[in-house]
Amino acid sequence: MSENSSAYSAAGVDYALLDAGKRNAIAAARSTSAFAAEHGAVVNDLSRGEPAFTFAMNGTELAMVMECLGTKSSIAAEFQTQTGANRFDWVGYDGVSAIVNDLCSVGALPLVISAYFATGSPAWYSAEGRYDALVEGWRRACEDSSAVWGGGESPMLAGIIEEGQLDLGGSAVGYFPAGRGPLLGADLGPGDEIVLIESSGIHTNGNSLARTAAREIGWSHVLPDGTSFGDAVLVPSIVYVKLLRAVFDAGIPLHYASHITGHGLRKLMRADRELTYRIGTLLPSKPVFDVIVETLGLDAETAYGTFNMGAGFALICPASNAERIVAAAQSVGLTAVHAGSVEEGARRVILDEVGVTFGDEDLQLR
């Protein structure tokens, strides 16, 4: 990554440090895998380092994930203070989308979701309608995911979380439909086709940089499409569960999936394989990204290595199936494009359209 990538570190997020911590945690977690046998279960250690953990119990394969929303709830609070607009239903929706889209990344469909709403004091609940909006957004996203909201926890953590702030997260258990197993990259190979599916905007990552930009232009700054910058950042993420169901229902084979969040399009090479992912056609960038990039003076390498830049999800399939995925996406109201292919070569992502290449050293999650 270029020196320009330090912009994200300056905003308070250091992926090099975070990823090193993740690798240490994965190694420690792997040492516990043998305990599964005491319960008649089998752990799939190949899923470690993927967005969701997979295991089998009594012959049934399941997936589990825990995820948090990050700083988007703080943006919603700032936006409400400045404009009076309550967007916490969008925040609640995003909390679920972050969870279920990670399940989709390993080919699992969500079954049960639990919520974690942590606050610093009762002050967070004092804004009229805020909590009701959060709950309704969470419920609606569960509905769009065809998943049960099973329960959760809502602690007040004075001295840990700032007064008036919300730490939003949750977990979920998912299952694999009959005839489908985890997508962990084992079947990836040269000739596979890459399909990019549109995002609605910034989704759940890159919000620290959005806050940095807002300090310069303000949340009420109007974008070329007439949307305020605050609304463009807060617009709910797409839940890709219906897309995955449509692909399954159409009988389309898949070799891999990627939820494009942190690390941007570097996520295309998340699989532990020595392969090159060449993208010849990108989806159009969203106005919200153009404003952030221009305001902060980010180069293309930093932008595409941080944000989804208009592509929130990717599916990789055997040759001659990309257009079938594009059609399945259209059937659920999403725009998709046959963007590129998998090639023999070093582990890297090549974005021909913008002249950017990410190498093996740019994504080390294992």
Given this model, what pLDDT does residue 339 score?
98
Rg over CA atoms, the chain: 20
Given this model, what pLDDT does residue 64 score?
98
Q: Residue 347, Cβ neighbours under 10 Å: how many? A: 18
Task: Return d(Cα 144, Cα 40) in angstroms, integer.
Answer: 33
Given this model, what pLDDT does residue 256 score?
98
Given this model, what pLDDT does residue 270 score?
94
Task: Return d(Cα 77, Cα 230) in angstroms, integer.
Answer: 11
Task: Return d(Cα 180, Cα 175) in angstroms, integer.
Answer: 10
Residue 106 vs residues 43, 63, 75, 98, 364: alpha-carbon distances, Å = 15, 8, 30, 14, 18
Q: Which tens digit of pLDDT belongs to each residue from 7-30?
A: 555 444 565 666 677 778 888 888
Given this model, what pLDDT does residue 1 score?
53
Segment among 67-71, 74-78, 175-179, 196-200 with least mean pLDDT? 67-71
Q: Which tens digit of pLDDT belongs to each residue from 123-153?
A: 888 888 999 999 999 999 999 999 999 999 9
Confidence class for position 6, pLDDT limits 50, 70, 90: very low
- Mean of pLDDT values over 196-206: 94
Given this model, what pLDDT does residue 172 score?
98
How high does pLDDT run on average in the chain?
93
